[in-house]
Structure 1
Amino acid sequence: MELYGGSGVIQKGAEPLKQIEQHPNIEVRIYNAFRTSFWPRYLRYGELLLDFPRLNQRMHNKIIAVDNTVAIVGGRNVNDTYFALDEAHYFLDRDVAIAGPLVKEVSASFDAFWNSPYAVPVSDFVEGEVLPFSLTTIWNETFAYDMEAFPLPRRIEVMDLAGKFGALQRRFVWAPGTLSLTAPGPVFAGAAPPPEKRIENVMLAHIGAARDDVVVQTPYVMMTDAREAALTEAHERGVAVALNTNSLASHDSALVHYGFARDRLRFSRSGADIYELKDRPHTSRGMPGLGITPEKTTLHSKTLVFDRRYVFLGSFNLDYRSLRYNSEIGILIDSPGLASHVRDAIVSDMAPVNSWHMVIEPPGKTVWLDESETPPLRFDTEPNASFLARFTAWLGYILPIDDLL
């Protein structure tokens, strides 16, 4: 079974879903679907304008659950750019594979969406339609079964999956874990969690309880009064807070980047040490899929580590959209070993070869330091960003988009 967010249809079109639906063992439903999902794209844009409050809500959860036994939860979409198979663009992401009783909760969260009246089967859209392809045609046209079609490094990985599964089982860390969710608004009424399981509440509670440090890695981040209060209070207690996010150069949406640029000063005054990912960081050189360095890398991981003990990861961005409009999922794991491992990976992404260090100088001037050079290179404007990206981000200051980010 596959549940697909309705917003993806307007971006990618419905043809792939029609093809998947032909498989006898696969059922696909679209959550919060456009009524014009399988019609020409311009009609979908028209429907978006006419029914914006509903269609502005998005199912953003990313789950793969198998037989109530094993599940993968994280921030990764299913696309070449997320699996290091695109020479032009790579999304740096993180997932967690889980086993045990928690998987049943993950599956139940999927079922809540699957059984919702907002989940519409693709078959409802194509009923009676004569499709110009068959399952055999689709299979013959796809290259997934042909290992020669994969780049050599990834081909070797795929061919050795059976052997790697046993090694993966031996790497499991057995630790307590809890599921957290976000499902705001009427579209997600049937899946809304109790307050103690809401992701924002869980995150703020652990910032409030932190004693030593909080390390945050997120692609999209904006400030709220509650977050500012929690970070400021943590800083006053002596808790070190480090934030790794996208720079304008690495960002996949310059207009969304405006939301962070607007709030940089608030984060800095709250005590956060800010590192912005370079567009071609050292960490993505020779990436495993193609064995090359992509033209651009974008941070997409959504992870927080508290006191080298707790690690939280999932689909939840620290932007307004995840807080107010999207459904999201996340896992909080109590494991010093795993937390330290993840923390080290994030700290590596913040290293000078991977990120610019952003600082605020009196009387509030933003500068970026490339500390991989000696002496450090100083940038008074967003480093490596194109004029178009700068202009697009600037538009955020004059357009009424704050509530949409």
Structure 2
Amino acid sequence: MKPVLRTCVALLLALAGSGCMSLSPLQRDQAMHVAAQARSTAIDCDDPLTACARPSPLRALGARAFAQSAPGAPRHYALLLDYGQDALLSRLDLIRSAQRSIDLQTYIFDEDDAGRLTLDELLAAARRGVRVRMLVDQLSALKHVDTLAALASVHANFEMRVYNPLLGRARTSYPQYLLAAACCWRQLNRRMHNKILLIDDMVGITGGRNYQDRYYDWDSAYNFRDRDVLVAGPVAGEMKANFEAFWHARRSVPVAQLTDVAGRLLRAGAPPMPHTPFAAPERVAAISRDADDPLLVNERLAAAAIPVGEVAFIADPPDKHRRSYEDVAPSTVELRALIESAEREVLLQTPYLVLSRPAQALFESLHDRPDGPRVVVSTNSLAATDSFITYALSYKYKRRYLRDFGFNIYEYKPFPEDAPIDLDATGAVGIRWNPDGSVDIEARDHPPQASETDEVRLQPSGSGARRAPRSSERLPLDREYSALRYAGVGVNRPVPLQRAGVRIGLHSKSLVIDERIGVVGTHNFDPRGDNLNTESALVIEDPVFARALAASIRRDIAPANSWAIARRDKPPVFSGLDYSLAKISEHLPLFDLWPTRYATSYEFVPGPDCPRAPPPDDPGFRACHEPVGDFPEVNLGLKSVLTRIFTAFGAGLAPIL
């Protein structure tokens, strides 16, 4: 046997040994018994009817909606949660208000401040007598086996299950991930992307947010501009039914039965819950106090809820992941039908503008209609995205999106001037801009531990630029796209920028049709959502709600927050030949090497003749905008080169990104 072959065989055996060691059914039963015996049954409340729940203006919306509903005439209240602090505050308020049950389903659940605070609140509810169930996708189900073993045995009212565990484990190492990719690629790529928090089957929250600092403005370097919707009323029953389907699916495994968690329980018994200090305890204490203030919650949140009528919850079933499943998933079917129904405008917001072939055909047919609707798309720029490889695929097809589909595309800036982000909550370094455009950085007295791996790059300033401290490495837990989560830290970082600041990346997934239907959910309108992930969304056909959602998205595409994407100036000679060769190169699955791209980014330049920014398809667009390059704000270097490489060679990755 050749040495290289022997090495490969040895590596494969080592991988198999590290990944496939399993426990017998008897051992798993014994681990379950260890966990069950350790669970506390103590209840901290002497009122079984209310479980000592605190009054909540948000839960009261549910009681009011049910009281106002009649057969065939449901009443709901809907509340957009744009600000991360509001999204976390609403969750804390609702968890503390639960009297009977809490069901939480999510993709990412981290062990940072936001994740640990939520866990503390869930466990406090369980100890009050509330039944708490937590379902997390395995690729992102907390970081530490000890934490999972503790949760398996913490209290009789708390249950946790892990969806679709690779190799029957809670956590997978890099070699085990490679083994799973080799043996179980189909299972590896089919993930539960649904996100639900449901309180007493009355009030629910869904949308783009996971449980991690960067979704709630708590990261000192990179945060998501995201969106959830809280809905109170009878549709909570549909959300409950979908949760039950996932909870009882064969891919949902009690955490104590997973090989690494069960082994931990059998070796050393049930560990105590970890009590790692919060990175920013003052910030945690502040939002905890706010959640205890019903007047504040009412004024800041509940009073802004919009009364609506019927609400539809569209969600994929866990059967989507069966080999025998041949239907088009419900979320995809319903979203396409809504887009096809548009008469005047489709307003679409997605962090990753990579469309499946059926979606491309849909938008092309809309564009070909004589009275077709305008399609406005809000998405990430390369400078803002957390997935530069996904952006490369969007960059590849810009010509098709603009010319063949008629999209008006706006790409989110990394430092938006008018974003619904609480910069003070991030705990970031202080930034002072100089008249010449340079920047000074001053660290705050007690900033929380940063979570982004990039070092802050500064332009020279008069007082001498200083480099911000290097932050801790991110684990693959925090990635919403699974195919490349172990591809290395460099791949899983946002690109380096030309200046310092708290970077903001778009993560919301929303749709507005003719300002009469509003949709907020988890679907990125991409091939993963169509074919691999399970997704969910709330569809609200109400003009008041739809206009509020449209206004939120239009704020994101305003010149202060986004660059407009349009065709670059034609070359002075052979422009037709350049266009034709670029189009041919674009259609190649590989070797899209034509150096000239069809589109570039534009910045609005206000003036007497340009009081407002005209859209890219307006004749006056160029008179009011100036080109700023394909990758504005990016510190051009290796990442920009890699973006072009993936544009040229990465088309085959589109179905799994």
TM-score, normalised on structure 1? 0.88
Q: What is the match of residue 512 of structure 2?
A: 305
Say which of 339, 354, 361 aligns to 2:546: 339
Q: What is the match of residue 311 of structure 2?
A: 177
**Structure 1 residues 166 and 27, CA gap change in structure 2 (3 angstroms):** farther
Task: For residue 42 of structure 1, report the CA deviation from its aligned partner.
Answer: 3.0
Say which of 187, 195, 198 aligns to 1:54: 187
Return the structure number with greater strand share: 1
Give the Cα separation in 1 of the matches to 2:187 and 2:381. 31
Give the Cα separation in 1 of the matches to 2:139 and 2:187. 11
Gaps of 5+ in 1: none
On the 8 A contact 2:393/2:654 being kept in 1, the answer is yes
On the 8 A contact 1:188/1:327 being kept in 2, the answer is no
Residue 8, structure 1, aligned to residue 257, structure 2: no
Task: For residue 373 of structure 1, report the CA deviation from its aligned partner.
Answer: 6.0
AA paired with 1:47?
L
Give the Cα separation in 1 of the matches to 2:299 and 2:268. 44
Q: What is the match of residue 141 of structure 1?
A: 276
Say which of 147, 151, 172 aligns to 1:20: 151
**Structure 1 residues 384 and 222, CA gap change in structure 2 (3 angstroms):** same
Residue 265, structure 1, aligned to residue 399, structure 2: yes
Q: What is the match of residue 604 of structure 2?
A: 371
* Superposition CA RMSD, Å: 2.9
Secondary structure, aligned partner of 1:35: helix
Residue 381, structure 1, aligned to residue 630, structure 2: yes
Q: What is the match of residue 296 of structure 1?
A: 503
The CA deviation string for residues 6-28 of structure 1, in whole angstroms up to 9 with x for no partner, is 1215x845444334334313211
AA paired with 1:369?
Y
Q: What is the match of residue 394 of structure 1?
A: 644
Task: For residue 288 of structure 1, report the CA deviation from its aligned partner.
Answer: 6.3
Task: For residue 142 of structure 1, report the CA deviation from its aligned partner.
Answer: 4.4
Task: For residue 193 of structure 1, report the CA deviation from its aligned partner.
Answer: 11
Task: For residue 73 of structure 1, report the CA deviation from its aligned partner.
Answer: 0.9
Say which of 367, 377, 383 aligns to 1:243: 377
What is the percentage of aligned positions where both structures have the same residue? 27
Task: For residue 287 of structure 1, report the CA deviation from its aligned partner.
Answer: 3.4
On the 8 A contact 2:602/2:629 being kept in 1, the answer is no
Q: What is the match of residue 476 of structure 2?
A: none
Higher relative contact order (CA 8 A, sep 6+): 1
Say which of 280, 289, 307 aligns to 2:415: 280
The CA deviation string for residues 284-338 of structure 1, in whole angstroms up to 9 with x for no partner, is 4643634868621110000000011100110001211111100000111011001
Give the Cα separation in 2 of the matches to 1:160 and 1:107. 28
Larger-gyration structure (1/2): 2
On the 8 A contact 2:354/2:654 being kept in 1, the answer is no
Give the Cα separation in 2 of the matches to 1:331 and 1:287. 29
On the 8 A contact 1:68/1:107 being kept in 2, the answer is yes
**Structure 1 residues 162 and 33, CA gap change in structure 2 (3 angstroms):** farther
Task: For residue 403 of structure 1, report the CA deviation from its aligned partner.
Answer: 2.9
Task: For residue 62 of structure 1, report the CA deviation from its aligned partner.
Answer: 0.5
Q: Which moved more, 1:31-40 or 1:247-256?
A: 31-40
Q: What is the match of residue 247 of structure 2?
A: 114
**Structure 1 residues 39 and 216, CA gap change in structure 2 (3 angstroms):** closer
Give the Cα separation in 2 of the matches to 1:19 and 1:388. 43
Task: For residue 393 of structure 1, report the CA deviation from its aligned partner.
Answer: 2.2
Q: What is the match of residue 351 of structure 2?
A: 219
Give the Cα separation in 2 of the matches to 1:169 and 1:160. 12
Task: For residue 189 of structure 1, report the CA deviation from its aligned partner.
Answer: 7.3
The CA deviation string for residues 21-69 of structure 1, in whole angstroms up to 9 with x for no partner, is 3431321111000225356613431332221111111000011111211
Q: What is the match of residue 655 of structure 2?
A: 403
**Structure 1 residues 188 and 230, CA gap change in structure 2 (3 angstroms):** same
The CA deviation string for residues 191-239 of structure 1, in whole angstroms up to 9 with x for no partner, is x7976x7222222222222122111111012234433343344343142
Give the Cα separation in 2 of the matches to 1:368 and 1:34. 41
**Structure 1 residues 311 and 66, CA gap change in structure 2 (3 angstroms):** same
Q: What is the match of residue 319 of structure 1?
A: 526
Figure out how many residues of one structure are paired with residues of the other and give that number.
397
Gaps of 5+ in 2: 1-132, 432-500, 571-578, 580-596, 608-623
Task: For residue 185 of structure 1, report the CA deviation from its aligned partner.
Answer: 7.0
On the 8 A contact 2:398/2:598 being kept in 1, the answer is no
TM-score, normalised on structure 2? 0.56
On the 8 A contact 1:352/1:372 being kept in 2, the answer is no
On the 8 A contact 2:245/2:317 being kept in 1, the answer is no
